[in-house]
Amino acid sequence: MDLSAPSAISIDGGTCTKDGLCARVCPARIFRFEKGKVPSVERAHECVLCGQCLSACIPGAIAHSKLDPKDLRKIEHPRPAGEDALLAFLRQRRSVREYRKKPVPQELLQRVAEMAGYAPVGAFGGAGWIRHVTVVEGEEKMKAVRDATVRYMRKLHDLMSGFFLRGMARFSEEARSGLSTLPDLKMRLAEYEAGRDAILYDAPAAVFVSAGYETTTPHEDCDAALMNMMLAAHALGLGTCWNGWLGNAALASHVRGPRELGDLLGLSETHRVVEAFTVGWPSIPLHSVPYRETSIRWVK
């Protein structure tokens, strides 16, 4: 599908029920509705391809050049899970850092990756709806990912241990924030030198989601897609762990030089945001969930 071409949208007056639902749900307000009349289409080129109009139009009176009604998934149950069950599911998702030495079937990883497309996204002009997900699996490829990440982390360690950055930290909040990660960085490199994997946790697979600046919210787009996939993995009995070191290594963030991990993964050079997580079968069952306090402030 050519996202750069303008959208063509039309309404079949003979099928339309003149309820104006398309105008009410459209976030770009490209439909103009007057009571008792068939809605008109204005500024179709500003359509963001959300598909809300097709989803709300029961008789199927809308024709869209970029959205095929056959691709719509019927909502059989508006609330497929009870609220108590869903809230318990969300509370029970925990980060997993101990995995069984058992590969994850590719069909399960496929199901997890596909859920990225159902996360919220700032898809202005239709850009950003296609999520870019890269899945790594197998011992050989995962070792290559770990080794490339370690080389990035060593470069970052040398940079952060220098006098220049420490001097900048006297005046820069960003530099101070970066230096605060140095103890964690040292720990992980020390564990690696001792033959213990505190980077990938010996996970059988890893998932990366990346984005450029086609939208105004690339960071948020990646974060939302990542969380959707992690919840999907949890629903399938898998464990995951959000891994900031992997995402930074794929971009070579804060380190000059080529993006070794990004090149290894075949990530587009136009992608300036990368998030990642490890995934596999949990090896340690958890029997409780620690309480997590949320600071809530009401404005009425």
Residue with tokens 């990346």: 210
Give the mean pLDDT of 106-118.
Answer: 97
For the stretch 146-191, pLDDT in tens is 999 999 999 999 888 876 666 666 667 766 776 778 889 999 999 9
Q: How many CB atoms lie within 10 A of CB 33?
A: 17
**Distance between CA atoms of 245 and 21, rounded to whole angstroms?**
46
pLDDT band at 5 (very low <50, low <70, confident <90, very high): confident
Q: Hey, what are 149's tokens?
A: 């990440």
Decide if pLDDT at 1 tops 60. no
Per-residue pLDDT at 213: 86
Beta bridge partners of 32: 40
Query: What does CATH list as the number for 9-71?
Result: 3.30.70.20
Condensed to tens digits (0 to 9), the pLDDT of residues 279-300 reads 999 999 889 988 889 999 999 9
pTM: 0.88
d(CA 122, CA 41): 22
- At 44-69, the pLDDT tens digits run 988 988 999 999 999 999 999 999 88
- Spatial separation of the C-alpha atoms in residues 142 and 150, rounded to whole Å: 12
Q: What pLDDT sits at residue 107? A: 97
- How far, in Å, CA of 216 to CA of 236, rounded? 32
Q: Tens digits of per-residue pLDDT, 177-236? A: 767 788 899 999 999 999 999 999 999 999 999 999 888 899 999 999 999 999 999 999
Give dist(CA 276, CA 210) in Å, integer. 9
Query: Regarding beta strands 273-280 and 205-211, do their DSSP bridges make them parallel or antiparallel, or are they unpaired?
Result: antiparallel
Question: How many DSSP H helices and E strands does the chain contain?
Answer: 11, 8
Question: Which CATH fold topology does 83-280 show?
Answer: NADH Oxidase (3.40.109)
- Most confident of the following: 100-109, 116-125, 257-266: 100-109
Backbone angles phi, psi at 95, to 5 degrees: -70, 135
Radius of gyration of the chain (CA): 23
The residue ranges of every structural domain in the chain are 9-71, 83-280
Eight-class DSSP state of 72: P
Q: Hey, what are 293's tokens?
A: 């306090």
Do the beta carbons of residue 110 and residue 238 sit within 8 Å?
Answer: no
Give percent of the chain with pLDDT exceeding 90: 67
Q: Is the pLDDT of residue 144 over 80?
A: yes
Q: Check if 9-71 and 83-280 are the same fold.
A: no
Give Cα 124 to chain centroid, integer Å: 17
Query: What is the structure's pLDDT at 128?
Result: 72
Identity of the residue numbered 213? Y
Residue in this structure with the two tokens 């000059």, named with its chain if needed: 256
The predicted structure's pLDDT at residue 207:
98
| Token reading at 67 | 């959205």
